[in-house]
Amino acid sequence: MTQLPLRAQLASALGRTAATLSRATGRGDGSVIGGRVGLALEPDLLRKLAQDRKLALVSATNGKTTTTRLITSALQELGEVATNAFGANMPAGHVSALSSAKDAPYGVLEVDEKYLPEVIDTTGAGVIVLMNLSRDQMDRAGEIWLLAQKWRRALAGKNTHVIANADDPLVTWGASTATRVTWVSAGQPWKEDSWCCPECGGPLDRKGMEYTPPGGGVSGAAVSRTAENDWACRECTFRRPETTWILDDDAVIDPRGHRWVLDIQLPGRANRANAVIALATAETFGLPIQRALPRLRQVTSVAGRYTTVERDGRHARLLLAKNPAGWLEAFDVLDRSLPVILSVNAQGPDGRDTSWLWDVDYRVLRGRPVYVTGERRLDLALRLDVAAVPFQLAASFEQALAAQPPGKVDVIANYTAFQQIRSEFGRAV
């Protein structure tokens, strides 16, 4: 790599010092404060740090931290990779990630959806990974449409390679101004934000299970799976593009038509989708699937997600769910034979408004013991009551856990509730 100019070197070094101080004084991992110090001294620092590296930016409503981790793990097969492993996904976090791995030839950066256009411009990243867009705790459908429109503008005319989930109509629309796109069929269980065509506002037709693929209907799993996810606008020409990578239950079908069992350790459909996206991304870096896949299988947990905390013989597996689509994915991971503890807060990062709880269908929880806790447990309790899901209230997570018989229990928590449980219950086991 070429040397950074002196000012940028200095800004980068001071940023690292600030990060170290922040860690030493117990103020978190320091990546945001370090990056802010660096950017204050050299506003062009991110551009300079990004130069001469092969970069992938990863953005989505859900799964971006995990997918960033999976892609990083794969690319480590090729060499050192700079990455923002702790989810600091705005420019200060990117500065910190790149300056703490100065000589890494590769970088994989998780990027907040709203910051993506700016970060594309600043870093000139060669690879952009786009997975899903749905209402968040703070954004409603109209706002995510505006977001996709900004992605379109940011990608138009750029010399980038986009890896995008073609099963999500809004992501497809957001990616389709790019000159080069690898379309992946990664699925879309949450469809509530994509009944309308993003191009013209007309209704989107979706092919259900009964859909017969052109040319017959007797088919391998790959064909039926693709058909299941097919969609098209009834009123304009906007429709799902042909895909070259396909998630097929527990396997992936690569562009040559070969089927590989994923066999990853991270649980659930959402993580298999993340893995397929990661494999498609790795291939754009020249890494073949047979070298990338074993790397993905080594990842067991990501920033505390899917880890287990233990107290008095109760082993609680932690699942993070921040928005309606995230809850749907978490339900998919639950062990049906186990009780489940749900914890909901409404602090700043969660969004103060809990009305999004009403967008989730909780009926799948019927028939197992359900405990409800967190600062906004009454909001969730009312919602469960309306859905006729029996539950018990607990004043704290500790109480909810103590109410369980010894053994395993699943926990779904939103952002600050998840972080509270992690910090109170100490080191994950």
The residues of the shown chain that bind Zn ion, judged by CB under 5 A, are 197, 199-200, 202, 233, 236, 238
* Closest alpha carbon to 134 in 177, 56, 188: 188
- Taking the least distance from each CB to Zn ion, the nearer of 205 and 379 is 205
**CA–CA dist 49, 97 (Å, integer):** 10
CB of 240 to Zn ion, least distance (A): 12
* Phi/psi at 163 (5° precision): -110, 120
For the chain, what is the total number of helices (H) and then of strands (E)? 15, 17
- Is the torsion defined by CA of 370, 375, 380, 385 positive or negative? positive
| CB 206 to Zn ion: min, Å | 14
| Residue closer to Zn ion, measured from CB, 202 or 217 | 202
Q: Judged by CB, which is closer to Zn ion: 231, or 285?
A: 231
Nearest distance in Å: CB 199, Zn ion: 4
Cβ 205 to Zn ion, closest distance in Å?
A: 10
Beta strands in 258-375, from DSSP E residues, in sequence order: 259-261, 308-311, 314-320, 340-343, 370-373
Structure tokens at 124: 């000139």
Q: With the CA atoms of 74, 260, 61 and 371 taken in that order, what torsion angle do they form, in degrees rounded to the nearest 10?
A: -110
Q: For residues 57 and 166, which CB has a smaller minimum distance to Zn ion in the complex? A: 166
What residues contact residue 224 under an 8 Å CB cut-off, 6+ apart?
213
Q: C-beta of 133: minimal distance to Zn ion in Å?
A: 17
Closer residue to Zn ion (CB): 190 or 238? 238
> What is the Cα–Cα distance from 228 to 208, expressed in whole angstroms?
6
- Which residues are CB-neighbours of 427 under 8 A, at least 6 positions away? none
Contacts of 381 (CB under 8 A, 6+ apart): 372, 391, 393
Q: How far is the CB of 187 from Zn ion (least distance, A)?
A: 22
Q: Which CB, 173 or 356, lies closer to Zn ion?
A: 173
Is the Cβ of residue 234 or residue 366 nearer to Zn ion in the bound state? 234
Q: How far is the CB of 185 from Zn ion (least distance, A)?
A: 20
Distance CA 397, CA 152 (A): 43
How far is the C-alpha of 342 from the C-alpha of 369, rounded, in Å? 11
